[in-house]
Chains A and B, each alone.
Chain A
Amino acid sequence: MSEGPDVLRILETGLKGVGLRQAVIANNIANLETPGFRRRDVLFDQVLADAIEDNKVADLDENEAWVFTPGTTPVSANGNDVNLDVEVGELLKNGALYKTYIRLLGRMYRQFDLAIRDNAG
């Protein structure tokens, strides 16, 4: 196919990363009151950068290497550092990113569709 990064693959990686992020944030909120729990996040930029560089879909299913514990937020008395406001904000950002990728993907498929129809004449 064409030179340069494959947009479909980048979008696929993006969607996978966003999906993983959604699960991680949900896990954070579920552990809002768990003593000693530290909030987790996804190395999202890293996932995307690797996918663009290697021109392939990052393998998020196999391991949890992309999930990390920032450990920078203030810890409360029970050793927990999850804050509901922060997680809601992250959820919001993640949702916006998800919608963006879905829209871009939809647009790409419509382009393919257009190409096929025109050739069928």
Chain B
Amino acid sequence: MSVQKLSTPVDIAVSGLRAQSLRLKTIAANIANASTTRTSSGEPYRRQDVLVRARDGLTGVTIGGIVQDAKGDFKRILQPGHPDADANGYVRMPNVEVPVEMMNLVTASRAYQANAAVLKRYQDLVEVTLELIR
């Protein structure tokens, strides 16, 4: 048996930490690009989301990848002087809703904290076990 196999709760909590910190990263990118009207593809910025998948058995979570939110139409605002405005003077804005992103920010950071709490509590439990061989 491997020594490392004794500490799967740590690995599970760490997988959660990684997934949530990637979510925080994409939320940061979404908020930062909330008014980006042109990306390298020529289109306005599309909000991104993290796909998380459960690993087989009790081994935590795995990151499925970062996906673009294809739904949600680009809002059009009238701004004829804008370089990205169309013939009628309308500019297409990203499909990022800042209030939604703020809500996601709260849930992602809370989930990160929860995983960190699991890590801490497991550490305390190991200490309790070690008290038996003091």
A residues at B contact (CB < 8 Å): 44-45, 48, 83, 85-86, 88-89, 92-93, 95-97, 99-100, 103-104, 106-107
Chain A at the B interface: SS class: helix
Apart from A96-B123, A99-B127, A103-B130, what 20 extra A-B contacts exist at CB < 8 Å?
A: A44-B3, A44-B4, A45-B2, A48-B3, A83-B18, A86-B18, A88-B14, A89-B10, A89-B11, A89-B13, A89-B119, A92-B119, A93-B4, A93-B7, A93-B10, A96-B126, A99-B130, A100-B130, A100-B133, A107-B133
| Chain B residues close to A by CB (< 8 Å) | 2-4, 7, 10-11, 13-14, 17-18, 21, 119, 123, 126-127, 130, 133-134
Contact residues in A for B13 (Cβ distance below 8 Å): 89
Contact of B7 among A96, A104, A107 (CB under 8 A): A96
Count A-B contacts at CB 8 Å.
45
Tell me which of B3, B7, B21, B130 contacts A85 (CB under 8 A): B21
26 contacts between A and B (CB under 8 A): A44-B3, A44-B4, A45-B2, A48-B3, A83-B18, A85-B18, A86-B14, A86-B18, A88-B14, A89-B10, A89-B11, A89-B13, A89-B17, A92-B7, A92-B10, A92-B123, A93-B4, A95-B123, A96-B7, A96-B130, A99-B126, A99-B127, A100-B133, A103-B133, A103-B134, A104-B133
Q: Chain B contacts of A92 at CB under 8 A?
A: 7, 10, 119, 123
What are the nearest 6 A-B pairs in CB distance?
A89-B14, A85-B17, A93-B7, A96-B126, A103-B133, A89-B10
Contacts of B4 in A (CB 8 A): 44-45, 93
Complex Cα distance, B119 from A107, in Å, reads: 28
For A96, the closest partner residue in chain B by CB is B126
* Set of chain A residues within 8 Å of B10, measured between Cβ atoms: 89, 92-93
B50 CB → nearest A CB, Å: 13
Which residue, of A45, A88, A92, has the highest number of chain B Cβ atoms within 10 A? A92
B70 CB to closest chain A CB, in angstroms?
24
